[in-house]
Amino acid sequence: MVKHISHIGIAVKDLAAGIAFYEKLGLILEGIEEVPSQKVRVAFLPCGDTRIELLEPTSEDSPIAKFIAKKGEGIQHLAFAVDDLPAALQKTEDAGIHLIDKAPRPGAHNAEIAFLHPKSTGGVLIELCKEKH
């Protein structure tokens, strides 16, 4: 069902500082996109089949602002790529895993995304992601 790690979402206070750090490791900035529904600006830095996604809150009531206030900057979620998101959600729910999103919603990069509930995943916020290229 899961193909590979689509991206790792990392909460940052300052997008430019986050980008500068990952560029020092040799990653190359692919682009920056604002996702109004999530109240974030997202920077993408590809790393093989995976991307580092830096998430900067654009508002104090952004989920990322709340995450940073509670836990500080750092890894916020892990996203697995799937081919068929509705089917993957059905399988996941059938397996007894609680879903935050029962239906796909739009994410960054034109992807369709859905989150699984951390109470069912050992504390990791997991996203299933149907990538569009």
Nearest distance from C-beta of residue 51 to Zn ion, angstroms: 9
With CB under 5 A, what is the number of residues at the site for Zn ion?
Answer: 3
Site mask, Zn ion, residues 67-106, x = CB under 5 A? ------------x---------------------------
**The token pair that represents 2 in the structure block:** 């899961």
Which of 2-10, 12-20, 22-30, 96-104 is the region at the interface with Zn ion (rule: CB under 5 A)? 2-10
Nearest distance from C-beta of residue 47 to Zn ion, angstroms: 15
Measured in degrees and rounded to the nearest 5, phi and psi for residue 102 equal -80, -15
Select 9 or 18, whichever has its Cβ closest to Zn ion. 9
**The token pair that represents 127 in the structure block:** 């996203």
Q: Got the DSSP string for 87-107?
A: HHHHHHHHTT--BS-SS-EE-
Burial of 4 (0-12, 13-18, 19+ CB in 10 A): exposed
**126 makes contact with Zn ion (CB under 5 A):** no
CA–chain centroid gap for 64, Å, is 11
- Site residues, Zn ion (CB under 5 A): 9, 79, 127
